[in-house]
Amino acid sequence: MTKQDFHVHTTYSDGDNSPEEMILAAIDKGMTKIGISDHSYTWFDETYCVPKERIAEYKKEITALKEKYKDQIKVLCGVEQDYYSEEPTDDYDYVIGSVHYLKVDDGFAYVDESPELFQKAINESFGSDVYAFAEAYFATVADVVNKTGADIIGHFDLFTKFNEDVKGGRANLFFDPSHPRYVTAWKKAVDALLPSDKYFEINTGGMASGRKTSPYPSVEIQNYIRLHGGKLLLSSDAHKAENLCFRFEEI
């Protein structure tokens, strides 16, 4: 199995290790390719992304590292482009398109920040109807390739992030993934994205952080994508070196 990983964060955004530390760890693990994909700048939330004034430095450093380590590993300079980021993506090697927020009347509803903000979005932006939130989320994901020019569709069902209590062994904390409105919403998004022929990630990041017992997207969604000829790509969404290629063999 080719060991490669294209969803990787560093200290330029919300990761723990520098790009060089990630690359050295990748070489150590025997990986043949690594793509660094820090979070694109979002003006409405600067807490986790590459600061606007460091974008040029980010590209320059990864480009220098590509050259430095070219005999040991292929390094790519990518970006995880949020749906609402307004930064250009032209000079990256590839783009991961991700939906982390939804635009609502009074600003942005947070999909993956915390269970508290997820609950707040349900209550205050979607009339306490979690399925209305899910429908709006997947309608936005359906447009992510169009909007961001993504080569890879990031964590397709990130909406499930807080739905499990892994330690307590409880599921469906916020919603039932077999609810017909939920199923219809994700199927519509997969159907809309399939003609683009881009990769859907199988993202093990939620497992690495202990939030989930399975990757994004769910097995049901993975099977639907496969059945309809879609392409899947393993990625770790690593925020630290030890999580590169997290549980890839097994998944």
Q: Point out which residues bind Zn ion (CB under 5 A).
A: 80, 98, 237
Indicate the residue among 45 and 176 with the shorter CB distance to Zn ion: 45
- Backbone dihedral angles phi then psi of residue 234, each to the nearest 5 degrees: -70, 135
Shortest CB 114 distance to Zn ion, Å: 15
Nearest-angstrom CA–CA distance, 125 and 102: 10
Least distance from Zn ion to the Cβ atom of residue 80, Å: 5
For the chain, the residue count is 251
Instruction: Name the residue nearer to Zn ion (CB basis): 210 or 228.
Output: 210
Q: How far is the CB of 34 from Zn ion (least distance, A)?
A: 14
Q: Name the minimum Å distance from CB 38 to Zn ion.
A: 8
The β-bridge relationship of strands 94-98 and 74-82 is parallel
Residue carrying structure tokens 């881009």:
198
Q: Whose CA is closest to 98, among 110, 117, 108, 84? A: 84
Closer to Zn ion by Cβ: residue 71 or 77: 77
| Nearest alpha-carbon partner for 149 in 195, 99, 212, 83 | 83
CB-wise, 61 or 112, nearer to Zn ion? Answer: 112
The least CB distance from residue 75 to Zn ion, in Å, is 17
Nearer to Zn ion, 5 or 80 (CB): 80
238 φ/ψ angles, rounded to the nearest 5 degrees: -65, 135
- Considering only CA atoms, which of 86, 122, 114, 126 is closest in space to residue 211? 114
